[in-house]
Amino acid sequence: MSCPLPVPVLLLILSMLLALAVPSVAEPIALYVAPNGNDAWSGTRPDAAANDGPFATLVRARDALRKLRAEGKLTEGAIVFVRGGAYELAETLALGPEDSGSPDAPVVYRAYRDEKPVLLGARKVTGFRPYKGPIMQCDLKGTPLEKIAFRQLFFRGERMTMARYPNVDPKDPHFGTWAYVLSVDGPSVKDHFTCTDDVIKDWSKVDQAQVCIHPAYGWAWNIVPIKSVDRDAKTITLAANVSYNLMVGDRYFVQNLLEELDAPGEWYLDRDASTLYFWPPADLASGEVLAPVLPTLVAMEGASHVTVRGFTLEACEADAVMVQDCESCRIAQSTIRNCGAWGVVVSGGHRSGAVGNDMYARYDPGTPDVPQREQDLEQAKALLAEAGYADLTVELVTSAGALGADEVAAAQVFAEQAKGAGVTVKVKKVDSGVFYGEDYLTWPFAQDFWFTRNYLAQAGQCSMPGAPYNETHWENAEWLAIVQEALRTVDDAQRNELVGQAMTIEYNEGGYIIWAFRNQVDAYSSDKIAGLKLDKLGAALGQFNFKDVYFV
């Protein structure tokens, strides 16, 4: 096989053709939202003036679009530009059929220019005062958090630990310090057990505490409220059954007990007294304390042709984004973190999810903020002509047996789009044995897939010189030096900065065209799902054997 251009050049030029872009429309309605805005204003100006300017909330902008649609004034779509800054959401941004766009007139909620809006499902906790030693307390009565039984607490952008026994082992948080079931009084017991002498203490408000346990060989992960304890008998009785019969040696810990608040980063919420206790791991003045008040930040149900782009979404109790029964709705170029359950849940519908952007580790903590690739056929045509390939013909190798029928269909869509730039793409379908055979790493232009990994792990598989699956044979000395330095760096912040630099270089110069991400399980809520086992090679959850997985 041969190719008229060196592989990296070809892939970089053609990457402009493949990006999934919102179709261009003439003069869509433009509305603006800003932290210093006012929902009584028109929302038609990006900057605040004496008596007019941007809205203050996304919900107000959504309602304005609904009114315009009812008046027949939304025929060309709309863009809601959101200025940079933090938005403490008072309610979930709910988008339904009445908020839909169309293929030629989509509705887009996006960051304004290169600014960075942050959508928060939490409220700042202020007014701490000393309690005992390094432990601080905060009276939540009269605040938006007074009646909220929040289960997450964040400080300086990091999740804190609910007060527990035994404490977290920072060197081994997953398999470190545990308590273990000492005995059970029968073969079919699911709601009580005998603990070791060290566990039960003079706890107050046991009814607010929980047992977090792996019952029966670690087959499940259950978080169950405690009904009662008997210190003399050393028994803990649960308010509900666990998933499997309890066994001697089952590992667990207890949490949300004031008496167990004994380590930096731990916290306890007394729901009866609406009082928060917190041992900050650093000076409280060095960052914000946030407690969630919303379960979900963005919920699309039955909507179509809506895109949410360029946001950071964080600090909520449950799923950050829900996309249900939608058509062509996307979450793009956004960072989602510090949520209590799933990051993005996509169920039902068609052509909805997260858009690719030539970056294969979009949820890595070091992911940089880079522009979303947009389709620009005229620019692609001009660049090809400048390079002397105005009538370029290439062969794209693909395999239904190896990749699936959807991916082959995507190759055909790519070939059709490439015509607009004067490029003829001949799609060659081969069986999986040929595709992954002796020619696998020599195809000049081919289509493949990867499961999601963090950036450094993925780079070691497919981008570094000598990587076992280096499909593009891309080389860049500056990039390689940065990646090698990141692999040696222990400090998370420094490593994330290096990862961002490396990702930016590969985004600009690398050989991959990453056009989309298939809906895939990449994270899970441990109190809802059981039966998952870690892949020995460290692959993402898409590599799990899901026939053994079940809900708890």
Q: Over pLDDT 70: what percentage of the chain?
A: 85
Mean pLDDT score of the chain, rounded to an integer?
85
* CB burial readout 34-65, b (16+ within 10 A) else e: bbebbeebebebbebeeeebbbbbbbbbbebb
Say which amino acid occupies 149: A
DSSP string, 176-234: SS-EE--B-SSTT--SEEE--TTT--S-S-GGG-EEEEE-TTTT--EEEEEEEEETTTT
Q: What share of the chain is helix, strand, coil (3-state, %, to 5)?
A: 20, 25, 50
pLDDT category, 6, cuts 50, 70, 90? very low
Q: CB-side exposure of 405: number of CA atoms within 13 Å?
A: 0
Beta-carbon neighbour count of residue 423 at 10 Å?
24
What is the dihedral angle through the alpha carbons of 198, 199, 202, 203, rounded to the nearest 10 degrees? 160
Indicate the angle between helix axes 7-18 and 405-418, nearest 10 degrees: 90
* pLDDT tens by residue, 58-71: 999 999 999 999 99
Beta bridge partners of 32: 81
- How many residues in the chain? 552
Q: Over pLDDT 90: what percentage of the chain?
A: 52
pLDDT value of residue 22: 37
Q: CB-side exposure of 60: number of CA atoms within 13 Å?
A: 22
More confident residue, 268 or 470: 268
* pLDDT tens by residue, 81-98: 999 999 999 999 999 999
pLDDT value of residue 218: 76
pLDDT value of residue 174: 63
Cis amide prior to 166 (ω within 30 degrees): yes
**Which of 43-57, 207-221, 526-540 has the least mean pLDDT?**
526-540
Reply yes or no on whether the pLDDT at 248 is more than 60. Answer: yes
Q: How far apart are CA 466 and CA 190, in angstroms?
A: 52
* pLDDT tens by residue, 259-294: 999 999 999 999 999 999 999 999 999 999 999 999
Most confident of 17-26, 165-174, 464-473, 522-531: 464-473
pTM to 2 decimals? 0.63
pLDDT value of residue 432: 82
* CB burial readout 4-16, b (16+ within 10 A) else e: ebebbebbbbbbb
**Which of 56-70, 324-338, 355-369, 447-461 has the least mean pLDDT?**
355-369
Reply yes or no on whether the pLDDT at 538 is more than 60. Answer: no
Tokens 């059709």 label which residue? 416
Tokens 């790493």 label which residue? 441
* pLDDT tens by residue, 485-516: 999 998 888 998 999 899 888 888 888 887 76
Q: Are 110 and 101 in contact (CB under 8 A)?
A: no
Least Cα distance to 452 among 321, 341, 546, 360 occurs for 360
Reply yes or no on whether the pLDDT at 399 is more than 60. Answer: yes
Q: How far apart are CA 45 and CA 309, in angstroms?
A: 20
* pLDDT tens by residue, 339-386: 888 888 888 888 776 665 555 666 677 888 777 777 778 888 888 888
What mean pLDDT do residues 162-184 have?
A: 85
More confident residue, 76 or 364: 76
Tokens 């359950």 label which residue? 341
